[in-house]
Each structure stands twice: as structure tokens, then as C-alpha cells.
Structure 1
Amino acid sequence: MRFKINPKIRTMKTIKRTVLLLIAIISISTINAQEEEKSKTKLDLGVDFASRYVWRGLEFSDSPAVQPYVELTSGNFTLGAWASYETGGQVVGQEFDLYANYAIGPVSLGFIDYSFPIDGFTDGYFQMKNHVGEATISFDGVEKFPLTLFVGVNVYNDDQNSIYTELGYPFKIGETELRAFVGGGNEIYSTNTDYTITNFGLTASKAVKFTDAFSLGVSASAIFNPDTEDAYLVFVISL
């Protein structure tokens, strides 16, 4: 006995197969696009002009600083160099750092080599006693849990293996990006070597557009260090 297939059922099956095929094609295209995006290599470079160099609540310059950087990103791996040069000519404000990190989703594992060469003296860049190495791990936050977390531990040229931790909370008001933060450390970060809060405040940043092809990044940070009883308002222009 033969059964007649309802044309409506045949049409629905055809539509279903077509939809499934489209979903499969879109999924494959999305995966390929993501893979291509991950495999892209990007080179970024620029310079910041800071009214002061204040790092983790500690002042590293008493005059404006020029801070160039270059960064290479390939997939999840990033390699970069960053420097700070005090315009007042004080040797305490000279710094040159190399860093690398690998991102696994919102988590990044990294290493930073801080160096403090002194121009015109024997204690130059290749004197390893002027270097400090720090191993880092950070959590960049996700949509449902936007808090950020950073932990850094000095692993060479610091016999105390100083630790610094910081929590951050990014948010936005209009076109202005804001970030509240609180951080603390022990040993080299604190006046009595015990772990204490050394850095809290708020950073506001935005892009100031001059033309369709040119804009400047500007930011202002109110920084407080209750351990040293210092406070700073740092303004930065980024090119």
C-alpha cells in the first residue's frame, strides 16, 4: 500500500534542511573567522606624555615623563617594550622594561623585566643588578563578573620576593571609560615591609576626536597612597 506524502510536510522538511545547512555554514564561517582573527599578527606602537610617573601608588618622577612603547601580538601571545624618561633629567626617572604574556581566555600569564639604567655610569642596562623580574597572573573580567585581578611576584633581584595585588572595576559614563582600583603590596611597596594598601583611586579616559583621521587619547587618574600619605592627580596624553 502506498502512502501519499503531504506536500506541506515535504516543504517543511526542505525548509528545515535548508535552515540546518545555513546554520552549519554560518557556524563554520564563524569558527574560521575566529581562527583567522586569533592567528593575526598585529604591531602597535605609540607614546604617552604623563604629568608624573606614578606606579602602583609610588612616585617615580618629580617632573613630566615621556613613555614610548612598542607591542607585538600574535594570536594569544604578546611581546612588548615600554620605557619612561623623566623630562627633568633626574636619573631616578629612567626605566626600560620588556614584557611577555600569554592569554587563556580572560586569564593572562606574564613576565616583566624591569630595568633602571643610569646614563653615563657603569651601572648601565647590561648590569643585571639593575634589573628586577616579576611573574604575573591577571584576570581581565567577563561580562557577568567585570572585576579585574592582578597578582605580581618579584622572582629575581629581590630577596624578599615582594608581592603586589590589585583589584579593579571598569565602568562607563557616557563616552568616558572609568576604572576604580585598589592595590597593595609588601616589602619594597610598603614603608614597614608588611603588606598594606598602597594604591587606590579612579582613572577616567576617553578619546578626543579632532578630525575623522586624528584623535588623542586622554586620561586623568586620582591616586592615593595611605601608606606614604601621598596623593597625586596624573594627566596623560596618548599618541
Structure 2
Amino acid sequence: MKRKVQRRLRAATMFMLPVLSLSAQDKVEADIGAELVSDYVWRGQDLGNISVQPTASISYKGLWLSGWGTLGFDKDDTKEFDLTLGYGIKGFSISVTDYWFGDGAGYFHYGATNTSHLFEAQVGYDFDILAVNWFTNFAGCDGVNKQGKRAYSSYFSVTAPFKLGGLDWAFEVGAVPWATSFYNQSGDDDFGANGFEVSNISLAATKTLKITDTYSLPVWAKAIWNPATEGAHFVFGVKL
């Protein structure tokens, strides 16, 4: 991957919406919302500063479509727009996400060497006490392996939710299974990943603040460690 693309990928604020565990509802359901985050950290990668991140989704009988975006307060922060189409039934989910970064080629550029889109497939299962997910990039501006070929960069995670002290918690461990220039870059190194690397260990807590009898404000805090880059972050968010 060219160095220009590497810098853009390090700066990009990519995000995968939480995997939905859907039942086959009989009517169309839709929702919109937004989050304000103190930093944007994605799968252990430090990708942005204070940002507003709107989202919208629509679902019907387990099939769902969502849009997500991010816009930082700094003019140099990456503008991003993602679309995800997925299907969920009981604990099983599968989806495809089109990530687009606004600091490169225009939206309608899909050429193999001239695109700011990245396409990722996901498959997972939520066992209630444990959720397992696998993600693989299959097209677009992916990273490369040590031979300079498309790496089909992948990431898998295991998340365990629990309740403690009146809060909702989630503990997650995520790893990169093979070498790719897409994850865990540091400094000017062409490669941060040399094979299997644990890149995300996080502990998140969520609390709902009652504002009025009809309105509540969810807030969350997350401690994140990336053993591969020796990075650590503490992030705060508000769900509007």
C-alpha cells in the first residue's frame, strides 16, 4: 500500500455499528440517533479526536440497513460515511459494510487503485453470555501483506456483557489473525502487524441518567489497551 494511503487509513475514523441480535419482527422499525465522543478509538486504533457521530437504521423481519457517520471538530479530522446491510435471527448475524472516507477519492470512485471505499464482511453469534464476531475486508482500500498483496485484513472479537454495581458492563478482547498493514501501524513503520496480534482489550460501562420523567440520557466510559502498539485510551461518550 502506498504511504499516502497508509497515512489516510491511520487518520480515518472507521466504526462498525454494534451487531444487532434481531428477532423476526412483523413491522418495519426505524431509529435515528447520535453520539458525542471524547476520542475515537476503533478496534484499538487511535483514529480521531472529539467527534459527533450520527446514525440511522431501519429493519424488517431480521433484515436491517444502517447508516453511520463521523465528523470531528478539527478541520483535519476525517469525514466518514458508512452503510451496513445485515441480517440477524436469534443470536446469529451476518452483514456487509461499505466504509467511505471523505479525504480521498470522491464517493463514486470504485476503481481498484482509485477508491476511498472499503468493503468488509462480518459474521457472528451472540450466546447471551458471550458474543463472537469475525470481520474481513474483501474489496476497496485494504492493507497489504509482507509480499505487497491484498491482505484481506481481518479482525475477530469476543465480548462478554455483565451487570455490576448498577451499571451495564462489557469486556472485549480483539485480535488481528495475520499480518497486514491495515492494523496496528505505529510511527513510520510500513508494518505494525507481523502476524497474530492482540490489538484491543477494553472494559466499558454504561449508565442511563434520568433527566425528566420522559427523557433519559445514556452515557458510557471505556478503558482501552492495545498491546500491539502499546497504546492506552480512556474514552467518554454521550448517546443523544
Superposed, 1:125-204 pairs within 5 Å as 125-128=107-110, 129-142=115-128, 146-157=129-140, 158=142, 159-185=150-176, 186=178, 187=180, 188-190=182-184, 191-204=192-205
* Counterparts of 2:193 and 2:43, CA distance in 1: 16
Deviation at 1:140, TM superposition (A): 1.6
Deviation at 1:89, TM superposition (A): 1.7
Partner of 1:217: 218
Superposed, 1:44-63 pairs within 5 Å as 44-61=31-48, 63=49
* Counterparts of 1:132 and 1:193, CA distance in 2: 22
Higher helix fraction (1 or 2): 1
CA displacement 1:57-107 (0-9 Å, x = unmatched): 00111x20100000001110110100111111224x321100011012201
Q: Does 2:102 correspond to 1:117?
A: yes
Alignment gaps of 5+ in structure 2? 1-22, 143-149, 185-191
Paired residue secondary structure (2:25): helix
Partner of 1:15: none
* Counterparts of 1:49 and 1:89, CA distance in 2: 17
* Counterparts of 1:174 and 1:124, CA distance in 2: 48
Q: Does 2:81 correspond to 1:90?
A: no
Deviation at 1:224, TM superposition (A): 0.4
CA displacement 1:100-144 (0-9 Å, x = unmatched): 1101220101111111012xx7x22222310110010011223xx
Q: Does 2:82 correspond to 1:100?
A: no
Alignment gaps of 5+ in structure 1? 1-34
Q: Which 4+ stretches in 1 moved above 3 angstroms?
A: none
State the identity %. Answer: 33
* Counterparts of 1:83 and 1:170, CA distance in 2: 26
Partner of 2:147: none
What letter is aligned with 2:161? Answer: P
Aligned residue-pair number: 196
Deviation at 1:174, TM superposition (A): 3.9
What letter is aligned with 2:46? Answer: E
RCO (CA 8 Å, sep 6+): is it higher in 1 or 2? 2
* Counterparts of 2:193 and 2:169, CA distance in 1: 32
CA displacement 1:25-46 (0-9 Å, x = unmatched): xxxxxxxxxx9x7212111001
Partner of 2:189: none
Output the TM-score relative to the length of structure 1: 0.78
What letter is aligned with 1:222? Answer: A
Deviation at 1:173, TM superposition (A): 1.4
What letter is aligned with 1:141? Answer: F
Q: Does 2:41 correspond to 1:76?
A: no
What letter is aligned with 1:172? Answer: K
Give 1 or 2 for the bigger CA radius of gyration: 1
* Counterparts of 2:201 and 2:193, CA distance in 1: 19
Moved more, 227-236 or 171-180: 171-180
Partner of 1:16: none
What letter is aligned with 1:39? Answer: D
Output the TM-score relative to the length of structure 2: 0.78
What letter is aligned with 2:137? Answer: N
